[in-house]
Amino acid sequence: MENSPQLPGRTERPVPASPAKSSRILEGISAFVLVAGVIYAVVTYVGLPQIVPVHFGPNGEPDDWGDKNQFLLAPIMLCMVTLFCLVIARFPRIHNVPKTPSTAEGWQALYTCSRNMLLWTSIGVGLMLVFVTYSTSHPEISGPWMALLVLFILAPIVYYIPKMLKIAK
């Protein structure tokens, strides 16, 4: 696409600066949640009974059971989501942003917000999938944890989208 025509009124996005310290810290936390979640799943898998809970009702109680191999779906999804978010966060120039800033500084601020939103969302999804793994191996655990984790996933989106819109004004 190097020779693709420039659309009228569109400017080339500047190259992102190195990730801010906040983004690097969030990358580390996201990677830690990934590694800890996978290690926990591998260690736990061996001791699981052949039949495990695979779905939980709104009250947190198991309401469906299945083969223990289904237990591996959460850590597999954890790997996929986390790695996807880490890669996309490293290349903020390739994903959509809500508005186009008019200055290079605006773009850099937008890149930082975009990275941080992705990384916080990755951490939230990672924690949710680790909780699903934990709940499957400890079905007696119930409570509002899943709802709180869903809020944790949505919070960065609710926080960063208006911030990005303000930067692009």
Report long-range pairs for 61-65 (Cβ below 8 Å, ≥24 apart).
61/139, 61/142, 62/139
Q: Alpha-carbon distance 26 to 139, whole Å?
A: 30
Say which amino acid occupies 53. P
What does the pLDDT profile of the chain (169 residues) look like in tens digits? Answer: 444 455 455 557 777 778 888 889 999 999 999 999 999 999 999 988 898 888 777 776 778 888 989 888 889 999 999 999 999 988 887 877 777 787 888 888 888 888 999 999 999 999 988 988 888 887 776 667 778 888 999 999 999 999 988 887 7
Q: Alpha-carbon distance 79 to 74, whole Å?
A: 9
What pLDDT shows up at residue 71? 85
Quote the pTM value: 0.80
Q: Alpha-carbon distance 68 to 49, whole Å?
A: 7
What pLDDT shows up at residue 1? 43
CA angle 141, 147, 148 (to 5 degrees): 90
Are β-strands 62-67 and 51-56 bridged in parallel, bridged antiparallel, or unpaired?
Answer: antiparallel
Q: Alpha-carbon distance 51 to 65, whole Å?
A: 6
Closest CA to 97 of 38, 8, 10, 32: 10
60 φ/ψ angles, rounded to the nearest 5 degrees: 90, -5
The token pair that represents 160 in the structure block: 């960063």
